[in-house]
Amino acid sequence: MSDSRVVKSGQFFMVYDGGDAFILEDKTKRNLTVLEVSMDERYGVEADKGIIYDADGRGHRVSIRWYFPKERFRLEDVLAVANALDEFYRRLREETCPD
């Protein structure tokens, strides 16, 4: 993703202007290989997906970036999702890595 199209950046996310869609990228998953593009049921949008393996070697399909069509979503809607993602990772970090 070109940094010249960055609309907003948080600790754990980047939002890009992709022309006809806002693209929300999860920074924690940005180096995963995209294995498929399919519908993300939570948001009802297309998403690039990859696999993360847990300690037991089981693969879990996860979304790497989401494509929010501008005809259905405003920037504020995407930023609300992005801020929720940021908050989720902050809480997870606090629970797993206390001071």
pLDDT tens by residue, 86-96: 999 999 988 88
pTM for this model (two decimals) = 0.89
The Cβ of residue 75 has, within 10 Å, a number of other Cβ atoms equal to: 15
The per-residue pLDDT for range 37-50, each reduced to its tens digit, is 999 999 999 999 99
Beta-ladder partners of 59: 53
| Alpha-carbon gap, residue 14 to 79, rounded angstroms | 10
Q: How far apart are the first and last CA of the chain?
A: 34
Evaluate whether 76 touches 83 at the Cβ level (below 8 Å): no
